[in-house]
């Protein structure tokens, strides 16, 4: 009996110890989450980790980073460790430094503490300078981003413009063509190629994937990133997956077939002919297709729209313009708060999309003023659509994103009218989110749609 009890408690204790250790590790992670394991090379490596696991601090909370310094050389190093804190528009907030002395092949940690900051996003550059080595590690943190406010530059006839666009779209007969692609179908899923006529009578295409194991499914409606080709989405077992290639993307390049450098510039000087008018309407036409094909097992009461980058913007606009969308998930939405995006991007050492493209166009077109740019783009800024979104929303952002600065994404998010909205910050991501976000998105979707 004693042996039985001993063995039993040994097993139980091992489990509990394992769990406690895991728990303690997690708590430690929450205090200072481990940065992702990457191949970092260099004589001296800096690994800063924010105290909050998602890089977001509260308004009255002290900003704390744990900075791990590793000397990968065999020799003793002396120099300086410093950090430069700026606003996300590059305005200097604080510069501080400490003396560095570190033995060869060793590491040490220091805590970097800053006073609480007002709501917003801040860039923090950690720098190491020795007589023979310099390096900088760039991070971004946020403070109460849900308090970020931005000005809406919404034209007076914004609603009328889009109402008129819908009217024009409705005048185009969709002439749907649905073709089963047995060569792409599997034992578990049927794949259809879908074709339809959209705004200005352009033909656009998409991919419909229907699980064979069931009769009626909610729909995962995916809209594309910037000049990205969407293919049949075979990953979703509990949803019908519909992926649309808007004009100029994927297999919808019959008329518009241009590269990434010029896509967003097509007719940028003409509000009525700008390419995104048709693109936004293509997304609505995709919804029209879904809602007119219930016979394929589409549960039209459960359509969720999703996209990343340009797709994030398209998803939001689709949900704003059409109440047939019941849930919206978007990652790193492009073009959000385009005015502030321009100001923030002006501070970058090197220009990145989208203002890299817009500035180049501005440089080579003397008559094209920024006022003219905004007189068109204000009709297309996703932020101006945000108040029209009423359905539940999930948004993911990367704090190191320069294409879609976190402030602009959060400004957009804060303008969304829905009273059921959540966001996730991924601190070490640039223009992307991580697997944890998608794991949560899966939970979130099942919760909202009550999917078993």
Partner 1 sequence: MKTRRIFPFAFCLLMLFIFPYKTFAGFPIGKYRNLVVPSFSYYSQTDHFDVHGNYVKGAPGARFSSFSANLYVGYGISRRLDVIISVPYLYQVNNLGQGNSIISQGAGDMVAGLSYNLINFKYVRFLSVQVSGIIPLYTVPANGNSALGLGNSGTEIKLMYCGNLPGFIADKGYFNTEVAYRRYFDVQGPDQLSFLATVGIPISWHNQVSLDVSVFRSFSSNTTFNINYNAERNYAFCETTAQFRPPVFTPVFDVPRRLLCSLRDKYRFGLWRFGSNHF
Q: Which residues pair with 338 in a beta bridge?
A: none
DSSP state of 368: -
Find the shortest distance in angstroms from Cβ 439 to partner 1.
Answer: 4
Question: Is-contact 336 412, C-beta < 8 A?
Answer: yes
Mask: binding to partner 1, 18-57, rule CB under 8 A, as x and -?
A: xx--xx--x-------------------------------
Q: Which is nearer to partner 1, 159 or 436 (CB)?
A: 436
Mask: binding to partner 1, 137-176, rule CB under 8 A, as x and -?
A: ----------------------------------------
Q: Which is nearer to partner 1, 29 or 369 (CB)?
A: 29
Q: Which residue in 377, 165, 152, 383 sits closest to 270, CA to CA?
A: 377
Q: Read off the tokens for 225.
A: 């990133």
Find the shortest distance in angstroms from Cβ 329 to partner 1.
Answer: 15
Q: Which is nearer to partner 1, 8 or 76 (CB)?
A: 8
Distance between first and last Cα of the chain: 45
SS3 445: helix
Question: Is-contact 235 215, C-beta < 8 A?
Answer: no
SS3 113: strand
Q: Choose one: 160-168, 304-312, 334-342, 443-451; the region binding partner 1 (CB under 8 A).
A: 443-451
Q: Total number of residues binding partner 1 (CB under 8 A)?
A: 28
Q: Read off the tokens for 85.
A: 């804190």
Q: Choose one: 10-18, 69-77, 141-149, 253-261; the region binding partner 1 (CB under 8 A).
A: 10-18
Find the shortest distance in angstroms from Cβ 15 to partner 1.
Answer: 6
- CB within 8 Å of 231: residues ≥ 6 apart: 207, 243, 250
Phi, psi of 63 (to 5 degrees): -85, 120
Question: Is-contact 197 286, C-beta < 8 A?
Answer: no
Phi, psi of 160 (to 5 degrees): -65, -40
Exactly one of 34, 40, 261, 447 binds partner 1 (CB under 8 A); that residue is 447
Which residues in the 186-245 window bind partner 1 by CB under 8 A?
188, 213
255 binds partner 1 (CB under 8 A): no
Q: Choose one: 6-14, 90-98, 341-349, 377-385; the region binding partner 1 (CB under 8 A).
A: 6-14
Distance CA 210, CA 191 (A): 7
Q: Choose one: 17-25, 151-159, 363-371, 395-403; the region binding partner 1 (CB under 8 A).
A: 17-25
Q: Choose one: 12-20, 100-108, 393-401, 412-420; the region binding partner 1 (CB under 8 A).
A: 12-20
Find the shortest distance in angstroms from Cβ 73 to partner 1.
Answer: 34
Q: Which residue in 110, 88, 37, 109 sits closest to 342, CA to CA?
A: 88
- CB within 8 Å of 218: residues ≥ 6 apart: 238, 239, 240, 299, 302, 303, 304, 449, 451
% helix / strand / coil in the chain, to the nearest 5?
Answer: 30, 30, 40
Q: Choose one: 158-166, 301-309, 383-391, 433-441; the region binding partner 1 (CB under 8 A).
A: 433-441
Find the shortest distance in angstroms from Cβ 326 to partner 1.
Answer: 15
Find the shortest distance in angstroms from Cβ 170 to partner 1.
Answer: 36
Residues forming contacts to partner 1 in the complex (CB under 8 A) are 1, 3-5, 7-8, 11-12, 15-16, 18-19, 22-23, 26, 188, 213, 435-436, 439-440, 442-443, 446-447, 450-452
């Amino acid at each position: 009996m004693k042996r039985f009890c001993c063995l039993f408690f040994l097993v139980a204790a091992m489990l509990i110890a394992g769990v406690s250790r895991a728990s303690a590790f997690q708590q430690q992670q929450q205090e200072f989450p481990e940065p992702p394991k990457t191949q970092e090379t260099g004589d001296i490596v800096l690994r800063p980790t924010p105290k909050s696991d998602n890089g977001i601090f509260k308004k009255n909370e002290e900003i704390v980073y744990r900075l791990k310094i590793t000397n990968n050389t065999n020799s003793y190093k002396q120099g300086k460790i410093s950090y430069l804190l700026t606003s996300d528009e590059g305005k200097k907030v604080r510069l501080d430094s400490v003396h560095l002395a570190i033995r060869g092949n060793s590491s040490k940690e220091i805590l970097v503490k800053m006073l609480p900051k007002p709501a917003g996003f801040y860039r923090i550059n950690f720098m190491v300078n020795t007589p023979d080595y310099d390096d900088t590690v760039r991070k971004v943190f946020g403070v109460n981003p849900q308090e970020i406010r931005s000005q809406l530059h919404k034209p007076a006839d914004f609603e009328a413009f889009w109402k008129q666009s819908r009217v024009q779209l409705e005048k185009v007969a969709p002439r749907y063509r649905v073709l089963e692609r047995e060569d792409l179908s599997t034992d578990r899923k049927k794949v259809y190629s879908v074709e339809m006529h959209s705004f200005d009578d352009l033909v656009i295409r998409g991919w419909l994937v229907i699980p064979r194991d069931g009769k009626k499914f909610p729909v995962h409606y995916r809209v594309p990133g910037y000049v990205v080709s969407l293919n049949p989405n075979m990953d979703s077992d509990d949803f019908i997956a519909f992926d649309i290639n808007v004009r100029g993307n994927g297999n919808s390049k019959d008329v518009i077939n241009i590269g990434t450098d010029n896509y967003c510039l097509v007719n940028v000087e003409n509000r009525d002919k700008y390419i995104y008018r048709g693109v936004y309407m293509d997304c609505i036409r995709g919804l029209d297709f879904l809602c007119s094909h219930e016979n394929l097992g589409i549960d039209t009461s459960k359509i969720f729209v999703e996209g990343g980058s340009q797709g994030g913007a398209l998803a939001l606009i689709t949900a704003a313009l059409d109440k047939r969308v019941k849930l919206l998930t978007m990652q790193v939405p492009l073009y959000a708060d385009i005015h502030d995006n321009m100001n923030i991007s002006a501070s970058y050492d090197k220009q990145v999309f989208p203002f890299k493209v817009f500035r180049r166009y501005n440089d080579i077109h003397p008559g094209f003023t920024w006022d003219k740019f905004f007189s068109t783009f204000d009709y297309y800024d996703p932020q101006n659509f945000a108040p029209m979104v009423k359905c539940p929303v999930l948004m993911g952002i990367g704090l190191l994103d320069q294409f879609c600065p976190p402030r602009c994404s959060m400004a957009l998010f804060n303008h969304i009218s829905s009273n059921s909205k959540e966001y996730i910050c991924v601190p070490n991501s640039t223009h992307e989110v991580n697997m944890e976000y998608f794991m949560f998105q899966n939970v979130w979707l099942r919760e909202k749609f009550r999917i078993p």
